[in-house]
């Protein structure tokens, strides 16, 4: 999937969770993406993140960094 589209989707998720009171926003973003995004999409966005993460909102970036740290697929190649 195109990085532009994934970035937009991640930012949308972050924009929702940044206003929620009872959860650490980054964790909520990470949990949502882990629950609904297929590993293919996660691998793509991690690759984008590693390449600088252009366009990502701060909370989206924080959520993805938190997720990448605990997600086994983060270490798999994009083409898998």
Partner 1 sequence: MSLSREKDFGTPLRTGSTMVTLSIDGVQTRVPAGTSVMAAAAKMGTQIPKLCATDTLEAFGSCRLCLVEIEGRRGTPASCTTPVEDGMVVRTQTKRVADLRRGVMELYISDHPLDCLTCSANGDCELQDMAGVVGLRDVRYGQDGEQHRTIAADDSNPYFTFDSSKCIVCSRCVRACEDVQGTFALTIDGRGLGSLVATGGPDFLGSECVSCGACVQACPTATLNEKSIIEMGAPTRSIDTTCAYCGVGCGFRAEMQGDKVVRMVPSKAGKANEGHSCVKGRFAWGYATHKDRITKPMVRAKITDPWREVTWDEAFAHAASEFRRIQGAYGVDSIGAITSSRCTNEETFLVQKLVRAGFGNNNVDTCARVCHSPTGYGLKTTFGTSAGTQDFKSVALSDVILVIGANPTDAHPVFASRMKKRLRKSAKLIVIDPRRIDLFRTAHIEADHHLALKPGTNVAIINALAHVIITEGLVNEAFVRERCDLGDFESWARFIARDENAPEAVEKVSGVATSEIRAAARLFATGGNGAIYYGLGVTEHSQGSTMVMGMANLAMATGNLGRAGVGVNPLRGQNNVQGACDMGSFPHEFSGYRHVSDDATRDMFEGLWGVSLSPEPGLRIPNMLDEAVEGRFKGLYIQGEDIAQSDPDTQHVTRGLRNMECVIVQDLFLNETAKYAHVFFPGSSFLEKDGTFTNAERRISRVRKAMAPQAGLADWETTLGFAKALGCVFSYAHPSQIMDEIAALTPTFAGVSYAKLDELGSIQWPCNDSAPQGTPIMHVERFVRGKGKFMITDFVPTDERTTQRFPLILTTGRILSQYNVGVQTQRTANTIWHDEDVLEIHAFDAENRGIRDGDLVAIQSRSGEVALHARISERMQPGVVYTTFHHAKSGANVITTDYSDWATNCPEYKVTAVQVQRTNRWSDWQEEDRASGDLLRIIERKADAAE
Per CB under 8 A, residues contacting partner 1 are 1-2, 5, 8-9, 12-13, 15-16, 19-22, 32, 34-41, 73, 79-80
Q: In this complex, which beta carbon is closest to partner 1, that of residue 19 or of residue 51?
A: 19
Give the nearest distance from C-beta 50 to partner 1 in angstroms.
Answer: 19
Beta carbon nearer to partner 1, 39 or 66: 39
> CA torsion 5→49→65→30, rounded to 10°?
10
Residues with Cβ within 8 Å of 70's Cβ and at least 6 positions away in sequence, in order, are 30
């Amino acid at each position: 999937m195109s990085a532009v589209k994934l970035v937009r989707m991640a930012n949308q998720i972050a924009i929702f969770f940044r206003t929620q009171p009872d959860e650490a926003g980054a964790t909520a973003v990470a949990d949502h993406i882990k629950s609904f995004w297929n590993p293919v999409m996660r691998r793509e966005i991690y690759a984008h993140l590693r390449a600088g993460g252009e366009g990502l909102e701060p909370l989206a970036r924080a959520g993805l960094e938190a997720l990448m740290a605990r997600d086994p697929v983060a270490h798999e190649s994009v083409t898998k």
